[in-house]
Amino acid sequence: MKELLIEFPPPRERPMHPPAIVAELRRSQPVSPVRLWNGDRAWLLTRYQDVRAAFLDDRLSADAARPGYPHVTAASAVGRSMLPNFMVMDDPEHGRLRALFYQDFLAKPIAQRSAEIAGIVDDQIDRLLAQDGPADLITCFAQPIPARTLAPILGLGAAHGESLVAYMKVILGRESSREEALAANQALIAFFERRLDESELLPSSGVIARLACQMKAGELLRRDILGCLRQLFLAGQDSTASSIAMGVLLLIQHPDQLAELTARGDRRVWEAACDEIVRFLSVTHFGRRRVAIEDVEIGGRLIRAGEGVILAENYANRDESAFPHADLFDVFRPNVRSHLGFGSGKHLCLGLNLARAEMSLALSTLFARAPNLRVVPPEGGLTYHDELTIYGLTSLPVVWS
Ligand code: HEM
């Protein structure tokens, strides 16, 4: 059979599901040549086993500056910050920068922040319910939570948390012009720079004060800290907000599962449900990008040094061989923790414990406090955006009684 060369990403037919062609590719050519927006070629991996193995393969580099790296949007190709971003670096530099934050995002310190996160979630629900419905669940609830929960980890107070929410709305807002987004991006860096300079005003236990100490001792460069703070902030915003918003929609669409979750009530069950939301939606819909630094065989196919590879964790998460009835949303799925929605290997999502805590507290508390929450789709139905690196709903109007 003639090999298919598809445009990446292929269009979706149904908003909550991968394009139909993906199942066909997985069956007939699991390592597929694809053409990117700028005409470049790359290899697309769609099988769970191949994607998982590729995450662990050091012959595949995450360094976005290497020739052949598959940039999936124009913004990713030209808009990369001059500041460090360890998501697109290899070891040892990647490991050195990641280690600066690792301890703050482990399961135990995040669990100790449960009451703090629950307080932020409750406050956002108060603000939502204080409105005359319908209200947009994304702007009133899902979006502010990630910025507000990151603030205290950095050692910032509530007012600074609100500033982060404001920057985030412009940087990631689809209604923002390119100039507005760039200006907000610079203002965010300047904001972090001021906090670094005034670090003696911040609690010594927070990330910023700790890194400022290392900077003053000559152990760290200012630009390294600023780049990492910016990256940390951006990586955790839209990904979590979009998963919360679409998670609400999914649970409303599956009332039996929502009723059972609410009846069981326990935190672990909610966390597992959030993993199923991450598996099912995989909002990081452009996959993870890598470039081969030596010849490597994947799925029986030779990939040459210098060729780009897209590890489509979003498609791998729908592979029947790993998840029976993969296209069904099932919050009680037994092996859900083996999904690849947070990546795997050296670049495994640094914020996954925080994301699980935010999502589970946000969803469980929202449905406890507003059990009759309903979606009121605008005329023409709900709309989704797919041009950004995070997939999501444009808005989610809700009412409650
Ligand atoms: C549902 C929410 C989230 C999803 C689906 C998600 C997904 C991912 C994925 C797939 C990667 C792997 C990148 C790669 O292999 O190239 C990643 C990395 C990363 N994530 Fe998340 N993420 C989420 C929330 C967060 C949060 C809340 C934070 C922090 C506040 C965060 C910070 C990071 C960072 C810093 C990396 C880079 C890790 C490295 O390169 O070593 N993420 N995330």
Residue 363 in any domain: the answer is yes
Q: Which domain holds residue 216?
A: 6-399
122-148 pLDDT tens trace: 999 999 999 987 999 999 999 999 999
Of the two residues 204 and 12, the one the predictor is more confident about is 12
Would residue 71 count as lying in a domain?
yes
Tell me the CA–centroid distance for residue 234 and ligand 1, in Å: 9
On whether residue 182 sits in a domain, the answer given is: yes
**78 band by pLDDT with thresholds 50, 70 and 90:** low
Using the mean position of ligand 1's atoms as its centre, give its distance from the Cα of residue 351 in Å. 6
Question: According to DSSP H, which parts of 13-157 are helical?
Answer: 21-28, 48-55, 74-78, 93-98, 107-111, 114-129, 137, 144-154
- Inform me whether the pLDDT recorded for 325 exceeds 80: yes
Predicted confidence at residue 204, as pLDDT, reads: 87
Pocket test for ligand 1, best of 239, 244, 279, 339 (most atoms within 8 A of CB): 239
How far apart are the CA of 49 and the centre of ligand 1, in A?
21
List CB contacts of 226: < 8 A, sequence separation 6 or more. Answer: 83, 189, 192, 193, 196
| Closest C-alpha to ligand 1, atom 11 | 349
Q: pLDDT of 42-54, one tens digit each?
A: 999 999 999 999 9
The answer to whether position 154 is within a domain reads: yes
Determine the pLDDT at residue 387. 81
Share of the chain above pLDDT 70, in %: 98
CATH for 302 = 1.10.630.10
Mean pLDDT of 84-102: 95
What number is the average pLDDT over the span 81-88?
Answer: 83
The DSSP output letter for 393 is: E
274 CA closest ligand 1 atom index: 1
Please answer whether residues 180 and 393 qualify as being in contact, where contact means their C-beta atoms are separated by less than 8 angstroms.
no
* Residue 91 forms part of a structural domain: yes
Look at residue 70 and tell me if it is in a domain. Answer: yes
| Residue ID of nearest Cα to ligand 1 atom 30 | 236
As for how many domains the chain has, the answer is: 1
In a domain, 134, yes or no: yes
pLDDT for res 81: 56
What pLDDT does residue 80 have? Answer: 55
187-229 residue pLDDT tens: 999 999 999 999 988 888 899 999 999 999 999 999 999 999 9
Element (DSSP H or E) covering residue 315? helix 313-316
Compute the distance from residue 239 Cα to the ligand 1 centre, in Å: 8
In this structure, the residues whose C-beta lies within 6 A of any atom of ligand 1 are: 62, 86-87, 98, 146, 150, 231-232, 235-236, 239-240, 243, 278, 283-284, 288, 313, 341-343, 347, 349-351, 354-355
Sign of CA dihedral 182, 186, 191, 193: positive
Task: Judge whether residue 103 has pLDDT over 60.
Answer: yes
Residue 1 inside a domain? The answer is: no
The rounded Å distance from CA 229 to ligand 1 centre is 13
Structure tokens at 310: 């897209």
pLDDT band at 252 (very low <50, low <70, confident <90, very high): very high
For the segment 333-384, what is each residue's pLDDT rounded down to a tens digit?
A: 999 999 999 999 999 999 999 999 999 999 999 999 999 999 999 999 999 9
